[in-house]
């Protein structure tokens, strides 16, 4: 597998974010089978490694032509900076007139602030790179860990509503992050 540091688009304290490569399919498939993904991101559960590879090929194509996240997905693999091990993903996708951030970190790496670090790095970079007015994060209110990720990454709660998210109806929280104004 290609190393994260040499191919990283973004590097943070503990992480390197990079475009996916086809060799990531096995790991992406394995992560898609974990209970958290099955519960909170059922549309990212893959039937097989071949299905994961098909999705990766699509994402790799989008990474080569970053275009605009308001028009199509832009998803990066999240790797540990020191070991270069792929541990999750963070991405942007169009949502009406907004851009939404999505993320997942494999279960054995959760609870260490890595998701918040990845979300912060991606959102701050994307706000500047794509001149976005804001990025939203939409989470089931009962998914307390994911709500915490967004808050720790600098997102603010702007709305709560009852709606369907990933096929489940319930209380949903919408967070946003806006570009910080320049310091005079």
Q: Do 71 and 95 touch, CB atoms closer than 8 A?
A: no
DSSP string across 120-140: HHHHHHHHHHTT-SEEEEEEE
Tell me, what's the pLDDT at 1? 39
Determine, yes or no, domain membership for 34.
yes
Q: Residue 36 has what pLDDT?
A: 78
CATH, residue 132: 3.40.630.30
Radius of gyration in angstroms for the set of CA atoms belonging to the chain, rounded to a whole number: 16
* pLDDT (average), residues 132-147: 94
In the chain, the number of structural domains is 1
Q: How confident is the model at residue 183 (pLDDT cuts 50, 70, 90)?
A: low
Residue 118 inside a domain? The answer is: yes
Q: Report yes or no on 132 lying in a domain.
A: yes
């Amino acid at each position: 597998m290609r190393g994260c540091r040499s191919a990283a688009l973004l590097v943070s304290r503990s992480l390197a974010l990079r475009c996916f490569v086809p060799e990531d399919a096995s790991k992406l498939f394995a992560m898609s089978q974990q209970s958290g993904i099955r519960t909170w991101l059922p549309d990212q559960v893959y039937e097989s490694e071949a299905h994961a590879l098909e999705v990766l090929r699509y994402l790799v194509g989008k990474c080569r032509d970053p275009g605009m996240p308001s028009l199509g997905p832009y998803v990066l693999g999240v790797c540990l900076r020191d070991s270069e091990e792929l541990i999750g993903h963070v991405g942007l996708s169009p949502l009406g007139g907004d851009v939404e951030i999505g993320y997942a970190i494999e279960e054995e790496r959760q609870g260490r602030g890595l998701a918040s670090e990845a979300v912060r790095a991606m959102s701050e970079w994307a706000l500047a790179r794509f001149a976005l007015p804001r990025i939203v994060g939409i989470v089931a209110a009962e998914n307390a860990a994911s709500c915490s990720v967004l808050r720790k990454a600098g997102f603010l709660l702007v709305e709560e509503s009852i709606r369907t998210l990933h096929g489940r109806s319930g209380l949903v929280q919408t967070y946003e992050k806006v570009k910080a104004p320049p310091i005079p």
